[in-house]
A and B are shown apart, each in its own frame.
Chain A
Amino acid sequence: MIESKLGECVFTQSEIEERVKEVGAEISQDYMGKRPLIISILRGAIFFTVDLVRSLTIPFDLDFMALSNYKTGFKKVEIEKDLNEEVADRDVIIVEDIIDTGLTLNYLTRVMEKRFPSSVVTCTFLDCPDRRFIEVPIHYSCFEIPDIYVVGYGLDFRGDFRNLMEICTLYDPSGRSTQILKQMGKGEPR
């Protein structure tokens, strides 16, 4: 049973700010002369989306979408909050907090494709390829992380830690997370 207690810092606030600006600049460059529709996936991606769109130098439209989470007994994923904007013929950028298994993104991409956008790309704050079940295309990614459980900057553990300005591990009594972070040259105790 995991404890609701923080472990080590993985990415500091300044590292996050710097990298988000870089990705924002990259998107601004790629979409020069266009007006993309940024779709933020609630609730985790909201913090990242706000900082990302602030760093854009191109015009854009912003919309939000929320999907139901898997719970035992629930049969199908549902769109809890759909878009207000039309997607047809738009250049869509889906913004996620983390892409791990690829299950949610795969579903989202299928939903978008049926709405005939001009293009669809994905921008994620964190990419965790080690946990991937299904291959999904990721076009913009701020950080790649190993197979560890992290919180902060929108990512929560049972509702906690979303408002952290940095990315931290959850306390891991096995010491595995600490060991992995050491190999990355990271892991300042918080």
Chain B
Amino acid sequence: MEKVGIITISRETESLGDEIATQLSKQLNYICIDRDQLTLLLHEAHQDDLDENIDRQKFLIWAKNVKEILLKQIKRGPIIFLGRGGQTIFQNDSRAFHLLIVSSPELRLQRIMEKYRQDEVTASHILAELDRKREKFLLEALGADWKNPLIYHLVLNTAYYTVNQSCQIIQEAINNLGVHRTPKEQQLLFPSLDFGGKRVVFVHPSEEEFARILDFYRIKWLYEPRTFPLEWDSEGNVVEAFSPDFYLPDFNLFIELTTQKQKLVRKKNRKVKRLKDLYPNIKIKVIYSRDYTHLLRKFEVEEDV
């Protein structure tokens, strides 16, 4: 088992995330830090908690303080951190295991009805309000889609599993994190060139060189993993789409390499602009020919790749 210092649990309202956190904490002997616990720790450290008027800047300052406090806790022993944007605070941190718990809307509504002893209509209002608050916080915290499965190690749907079963699955997932993977299995996760390099067929040699550079710096990547529809005809058929060259899951960032002539670059720029308009939460960076030449020159690589 790789050393997991912190399990962050993000969850939909009434998706059994809290119950799973409590049980997992007992089974793994991890200290569970929820919102109240965190407030207490912040208070002890003479730091302010977030108020209702949260914005990205405030969140970043708060997140830095929270990370410092939690790192001190981790030194004493592993922790489970429930909610509060933990997946963002410990993003790209190799000590962290990020878990997202979801459930069906019907079950979540049912749980609200039972918990608050309310009829379906009132319960649906309560659920909508709780969801809205959570969405608002996480949108400010992440600045992106918090339900994007690519930012988590594991996404669990409790519409299909009990709390007990969920905890077993999570333990199994943590135990198998990064071990028992054959090179072939590893390749399926991230098709790094290190593991054979035959699976990915790059369109252009510059993409292959770029992939090698990412491998060198141990940055996980996926090649053209997603296609974004950009234009539809009157019948709803996709008539134009765009597949950025790379996706870096640890940074939730798409990268498009373009070493083409100016005329083609204009066409690509138009596509990127359209993508940004249609999918404002998607982060994309275009690397132009000049940027790429600089990179190769820096590494003293032949510039004709």
Interfacial residues, chain A to chain B (CB-CB below 8 A): 1-2, 69-72, 74-77, 100-101, 103-104, 106-107, 110, 113-114, 116, 119, 131, 133-135, 147, 149, 158
Contacts and interface: CB of A to CB of B under 8 A. Distances in A.
A114 B94 contact: yes
A139 to B, nearest CB: 11
A77 B218 contact: yes
Contacts of A70: 212-213, 216-217, 299, 301
B300 A135 contact: no
Interface string B287-305: 1001100110111111100
A133 B95 CA distance: 24
B71 interface: yes
Interface of B: 68, 71, 75, 92-95, 194, 209, 212-213, 215-219, 248, 251, 253, 255, 285, 287, 290-291, 294-295, 297-303
Given A70-B299, A134-B251, A75 B215 contact: yes
Contacts of B302: 72
A100 B298 contact: yes
A119 B297 contact: no
Most buried by B among A74, A110, A147: A110
Given A113-B93, A133-B255, A147-B294, 18 more contacts: A1-B303, A2-B297, A69-B300, A70-B216, A70-B301, A72-B209, A72-B212, A72-B301, A74-B216, A75-B194, A77-B216, A103-B213, A106-B217, A107-B218, A110-B94, A119-B68, A131-B295, A134-B251
23 contacts: A70-B212, A70-B213, A70-B216, A70-B217, A70-B299, A72-B209, A72-B212, A74-B216, A75-B194, A76-B194, A77-B218, A101-B298, A107-B217, A110-B94, A110-B218, A113-B94, A113-B95, A131-B291, A131-B295, A133-B285, A134-B248, A134-B251, A147-B290
Contacts of A131: 291, 294-295
A160 B43 CA distance: 54
A33 B251 CA distance: 35
A110 B297 contact: no
Contacts of B295: 101, 131
A113 to B, nearest CB: 6
B216 A114 contact: no
Would you list the 10 A-B pairs with minimal beta carbon distance, nearest first?
Answer: A70-B299, A103-B217, A70-B216, A107-B217, A77-B216, A72-B301, A77-B217, A70-B213, A75-B194, A134-B251
B229 to A, nearest CB: 26
A155 B280 CA distance: 38
B250 to A, nearest CB: 9
Contacts of B213: 70, 103
Contacts of A135: 251
A74 B299 CA distance: 12
Given A103-B219, A110-B92, A71 B301 contact: yes
A179 to B, nearest CB: 13
Contacts of B251: 134-135
Contact of A149 (B95, B217, B287, B297): B297
Nearest to B68: A119
A134 B301 contact: no
A110 B215 CA distance: 15
Nearest to A107: B217
Contacts of A114: 94-95
B280 to A, nearest CB: 18
A74 B217 CA distance: 11
Contacts of A101: 295, 298
A127 to B, nearest CB: 15
Nearest to B290: A147
A2 B217 CA distance: 26
Query: Which interface residue of B75, B92, B218 has the most chain A CB atoms within 10 A?
Result: B218
Contacts of B290: 147
A169 B85 CA distance: 44
Contacts of A2: 297
Contact of B217 (A100, A104, A116, A147): A104
Contact of A134 (B71, B218, B219, B298): B219
B93 to A, nearest CB: 6
Given A131-B291, A131-B294, A133-B287, A106 B219 contact: yes
A134 B253 contact: yes
Contacts of A104: 217
A147 B291 contact: yes
